[in-house]
Each structure stands twice: as structure tokens, then as C-alpha cells.
């Protein structure tokens, strides 16, 4: 069987919400550039409201445009730009566990628009007649859902559902996200270093104490720079 390119509908959050795609997704280049123009004006108004003389401050004069571009092209890119189609391959008899650990995560909390930073660990078990996907596609899934507003619990579920759908006929999928939230360290309680750990598991990973789940968590401890989750 040749490799297959498929497009999956992976979205569950209502379009328009910060952790969903934008209305009209995916946006054309022209629509993105119009959005940057509108957002530039709006962020200038925001700075005005904060009594910031940004127009005369050489460090801030272009800040509204910088911020608008950063949201559209980077911070919220997953709301505007589609993921490239995922290529899946037949597993050709491999029926073991597939794990990618330490996938970098950069996201932003929907509540405070502060950075969420950390790592995502993904595991799945290919079934007979199942599909495997190129390793970098797992990174792309993390980018697609991370690059928008997020709350960590929902982000974990979104990544889980995407891997579950794309790796068809799998026997189980497990996602663990370990992340620090700038809104906790820089505002409010102002505690640095507190990390949040969320795990969503299905299929053979579902129950505590089973072998697959144990193998996944054990593998995260091996050669992991001394960090344990
Ligand atoms: Zn927050």
C-alpha cells in the first residue's frame, strides 16, 4: 500500500472561540494581512487606554503592528493557518508502542493571554492493519493546537483526539503535557516554577497500573535529562 495523504476534521471547539479556529478558517494571505491592519489599529487603541505614548516612543512606535503580526503569524497561527495534510503509512506488522517525548510546547492561556511553555509526550499503540504517521506530524499537531488560546486540560484533549483520529485503528493513545503558566508566575499568586501535568489516555493506556501505561511513563524517565514527570 502506498502512503496516504488525508485531511481530517479535528476541531471540536466552536469556531471563533480563542481555542478554536477563526471564523472562515483557513484564512487567505489577503485576509491575514487585512486582519493585521485591523488588529494594529485596535492594539494602538489599547495602548492609548493604558496611557502609553507609544506614537512618540521609539521603542513602542511599531509595537501595535509587531503585536498584531505576532498573533496572526505565530502566537495564534493555529486559528488561521491549516495544518499540512497528514501522511499515514501502514504499520507493516509493527504492533508495539510508539512514543515521542519532549515535543516543545509554546501556547497561550485563553484567560490572561500569557505564555504556556513546556513539553508534550505522546504515545500510541498501532493495531493490526493500523496506521503510523511520520514523527514530525506529532510535532505539527502540537503546534496546530498549541498556537492559539488554550487551557491545558482542553489542549491535552485536543491533541489526544487528533492523534487518535489520524492513527486509525490504534489500540490506545496517551498524551501527557507538562507546562508552566506565565499567568501563575507573573501575576496573581506570582509563583515561579509550578508546573501543571495533565494526562489523557484511551484504549490500552486507559487504566492505572497496566503494562502499556507503565511502559509509557517509564520511557519518559529514561535519558530524560534527569527530569521526571
Ligand atoms: Zn491564565
pLDDT in tens, 136-190: 899 999 999 999 999 999 999 999 999 999 888 899 999 999 999 998 888 888 8
Q: Which residues surround ligand 1, an ion (CB under 5 A)?
A: 109, 111-112, 183
Residue 65, CB-side half-sphere exposure with 13 Å CA sphere:
7
Question: What separation in Å is there between the alpha carbon of 46 and the centre of ligand 1?
Answer: 19
Question: What separation in Å is there between the alpha carbon of 185 and the centre of ligand 1?
Answer: 10
Question: What separation in Å is there between the alpha carbon of 89 and the centre of ligand 1?
Answer: 38
Q: Angle at Cα 182 formed by Cα 222 and Cα 105, nearest 5°? A: 40
**Is pLDDT of 1 > 50?**
no
Helix, strand, or coil (residue 11) = coil
Q: pTM of the prediction?
A: 0.90
CA distances 104 to 31, 92, 169, 185, 188, Å, are 29, 29, 27, 19, 26
Stretch 57-77: mean pLDDT: 98
Question: What separation in Å is there between the alpha carbon of 111 and the centre of ligand 1?
Answer: 5
Question: What separation in Å is there between the alpha carbon of 204 and the centre of ligand 1?
Answer: 33
**Is pLDDT of 40 > 90?**
yes
What local confidence, expressed as pLDDT, does residue 12 receive?
85
User: Which stretch, 4-8, 147-151, 165-169, 193-197, has highest mean pLDDT?
Assistant: 147-151
- Look up residue 127 and give its three cell numbers: 493495531
Helix, strand, or coil (residue 41) = helix
Question: What separation in Å is there between the alpha carbon of 75 and the centre of ligand 1?
Answer: 15
Element holding 153 (H helix, E strand) = helix 152-166
Question: What separation in Å is there between the alpha carbon of 88 and the centre of ligand 1?
Answer: 35
Amino acid at each position: 500500500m502506498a502512503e496516504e495523504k488525508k485531511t481530517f476534521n479535528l476541531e471540536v471547539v466552536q469556531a471563533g472561540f480563542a481555542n478554536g479556529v477563526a471564523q472562515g478558517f483557513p484564512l487567505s494571505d489577503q485576509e491575514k494581512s487585512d486582519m493585521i491592519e485591523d488588529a494594529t489599529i485596535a492594539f494602538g487603541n489599547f495602548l492609548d487606554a493604558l496611557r502609553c505614548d507609544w506614537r512618540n516612543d521609539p521603542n513602542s512606535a511599531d509595537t501595535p503592528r509587531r503585536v498584531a503580526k505576532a498573533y496572526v503569524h505565530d502566537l495564534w497561527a493555529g486559528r488561521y493557518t491549516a495544518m499540512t495534510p497528514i501522511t499515514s503509512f501502514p504499520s507493516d506488522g509493527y504492533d508495539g508502542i510508539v512514543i515521542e517525548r519532549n515535543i516543545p510546547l509554546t501556547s497561550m492561556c485563553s484567560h490572561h493571554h500569557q505564555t504556556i511553555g513546556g513539553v508534550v509526550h505522546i504515545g500510541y499503540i498501532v493495531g493490526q492493519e493500523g496506521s503510523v504517521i511520520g514523527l514530525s506530524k506529532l510535532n505539527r499537531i502540537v503546534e496546530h493546537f498549541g498556537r492559539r488560546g488554550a487551557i491545558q486540560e482542553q489542549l491535552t484533549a485536543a491533541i489526544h483526539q487528533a492523534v487518535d483520529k489520524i492513527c486509525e485503528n490504534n489500540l490506545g493513545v496517551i498524551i501527557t503535557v507538562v507546562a508552566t503558566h506565565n499567568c501563575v508566575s507573573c501575576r496573581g499568586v506570582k509563583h515561579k516554577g509550578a508546573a501543571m501535568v495533565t494526562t489523557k489516555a484511551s484504549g490500552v493506556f486507559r487504566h492505572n497500573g497496566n503494562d502499556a501505561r507503565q511502559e509509557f511513563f517509564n520511557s519518559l524517565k529514561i535519558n530524560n535529562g534527569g527530569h521526571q514527570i
